[in-house]
Chain A
Amino acid sequence: MTETETIAVAMSGGVDSSTAAAMLAHSGATVVGLTLQLWDQTRLAGKHGIPDAPKAGRCCSLDDVYDARHVAEHLGIPYYVVNQEDRFERDVVRPFVDEYLAGRTPIPCSLCNNHLKFDQLLKTARSVGATRIATGHYAINEYDPARGRWILKRPADLAKDQTYFLFGLTQEQLAHTLFPLGHLTKPEVREVARARGLMLAEKPDSQEICFISGGDYKQFITAYLEEQGESIPETDGELVASTGQVLGHHHGISNFTVGQRKGLGVSSPSPLYVLQIDPASHRVTVGADQELATRTLRAGNLNWISIPALTGPMRVRAKIRHRHEPAWATLEPAPSEGAGPEAPCGQVLVTFDEPQRAVTPGQSAVFYNGDEVVGGGWIV
Chain B
Amino acid sequence: MDANATTPLLPEVMDAMRPYWMEHFGNASSIHLHGQQAHAAVDHARETLARFFHCRPAEVVFNSGGTEGANTAIFGLLRPGDHFITTSMEHSAVLKAAERMAERGIEVTFVAPQKSGLVSPDDIAAAVRPETRLISVMLANNETGVIQPVEEIGKLAAEAGAYLHIDAVQGAGKIPFDVRRFGCHLCSISAHKIHGPKGVGAMYVRRGTPIEPLLVGGSHERRQRAGTENVPGIVGLAKAVELATQSLENGTMERVAALRDRLEVAILDLPDTGVNGGSYTGPPVPRVANTTNIWFDQLEGEALVIALDLKGVAVSGGSACHSGSTEPSHVLMAMGLDKNRARASLRFSLLKTATEADVDHVLRVVPEAVERLRAISPVAAGTLG
Q: Tell me the A residues contacting B by CB distance below 8 Å.
A: 32, 37, 40, 65, 78, 80-83, 85-87, 90, 120, 123-124, 126-129
Q: Which of chain A's residues have a CB closer than 8 A to the CB of B376? A: 123, 126-127
Q: Which of chain B's residues have a CB closer than 8 A to the CB of A32? A: 310
Partner of A127, one of B325, B373, B384, B385: B373
Q: With contacts defined as CB atoms under 8 Å apart, how many contacts are there between chain A and chain B in the complex?
A: 52
Interface set, chain B 326-350, CB cutoff 8 A to A = 326
A37-B324, A81-B324, A82-B306 known; A129+B372 contact, CB < 8 A: yes
B358 interface contact, C-beta 8 A? no
Q: Which of A32, A81, A82, A128 has the most CB of B within 10 A?
A: A128
Q: Are the C-beta atoms of B325 and A83 separated by less than 8 Å?
A: yes
Closest chain B residue to A120 by CB distance? B378
Give CA–CA (A126, B384) in the complex, Å.
17
Residue contacts A-B, CB under 8 angstroms, 16 given: A37-B326, A65-B324, A80-B306, A82-B306, A83-B324, A83-B326, A87-B384, A90-B385, A120-B378, A124-B306, A127-B299, A127-B306, A127-B373, A127-B376, A128-B303, A129-B310
Q: Which of chain B's residues have a CB closer than 8 A to the CB of A40? A: 326
Q: Are the C-beta atoms of A83 and B302 separated by less than 8 Å?
A: yes
Q: Are the C-beta atoms of A128 and B326 separated by less than 8 Å?
A: no
Chain B interface residue number, banded:
20 to 34
B55 interface contact, C-beta 8 A? no
Q: Are the C-beta atoms of B306 and A128 separated by less than 8 Å?
A: yes
Q: Are the C-beta atoms of B385 and A87 separated by less than 8 Å?
A: yes
B307 interface contact, C-beta 8 A? yes
Give CA–CA (A81, B324) in the complex, Å.
6
Q: Tell me the B residues contacting A by CB distance below 8 Å.
A: 299-300, 302-304, 306-307, 309-310, 323-326, 372-373, 376-378, 381, 383-385
Give CA–CA (A81, B299) in the complex, Å.
17
Q: Which of chain A's residues have a CB closer than 8 A to the CB of B326? A: 37, 40, 83, 85-86
Closest chain A residue to B305 by CB distance? A80
Partner of B303, one of A37, A90, A127: A127
Q: Which of chain B's residues have a CB closer than 8 A to the CB of A127? A: 299-300, 303-304, 306-307, 372-373, 376-377
Give CA–CA (A123, B376) in the complex, Å.
7
Q: Which of chain B's residues have a CB closer than 8 A to the CB of A81? A: 323-324
Q: Which of chain A's residues have a CB closer than 8 A to the CB of B309? A: 78, 80
Q: Which of chain B's residues have a CB closer than 8 A to the CB of A82? A: 302-303, 306
B381 to chain A minimum Cβ distance, whole angstroms, is 8
Q: Which of B303, B306, B309 has the most CB of A within 10 A?
A: B306
Give CA–CA (A127, B344) in the complex, Å.
14
Closest chain B residue to A123 by CB distance? B378
Give CA–CA (A32, B311) in the complex, Å.
12
Q: Which of chain A's residues have a CB closer than 8 A to the CB of B383? A: 87, 120
B313 to chain A minimum Cβ distance, whole angstroms, is 13
Give CA–CA (A36, B344) in the complex, Å.
18
Closest chain B residue to A85 by CB distance? B326
Q: Are the C-beta atoms of A124 and B303 separated by less than 8 Å?
A: yes
Closest chain A residue to B368 by CB distance? A129
Q: Are the C-beta atoms of A86 and B385 separated by less than 8 Å?
A: yes
Q: Which of chain B's residues have a CB closer than 8 A to the CB of A86? A: 326, 384-385
Closest chain A residue to B339 by CB distance? A86
Closest chain A residue to B300 by CB distance? A127
Q: Which of chain A's residues have a CB closer than 8 A to the CB of B325? A: 83
Q: Which of chain A's residues have a CB closer than 8 A to the CB of B304? A: 127
Give CA–CA (A32, B307) in the complex, Å.
11
A365 to chain B minimum Cβ distance, whole angstroms, is 27
Give CA–CA (A305, B326) in the complex, Å.
35
A37-B324, A85-B326, A86-B326 known; A78+B385 contact, CB < 8 A: no
Q: Are the C-beta atoms of A78 and B372 separated by less than 8 Å?
A: no
Q: Which of chain A's residues have a CB closer than 8 A to the CB of B303? A: 82, 124, 127-128
Give CA–CA (A184, B44) in the complex, Å.
65
Give CA–CA (A85, B302) in the complex, Å.
13
Q: Which of chain B's residues have a CB closer than 8 A to the CB of A123? A: 376, 378, 381
List of 6 A-B pairs having minimum Cβ-Cβ separation, nearest first: A127-B303, A85-B326, A128-B306, A127-B373, A80-B306, A83-B326
Q: Are the C-beta atoms of B324 and A128 separated by less than 8 Å?
A: no
Partner of B307, one of A65, A87, A90, A128: A128
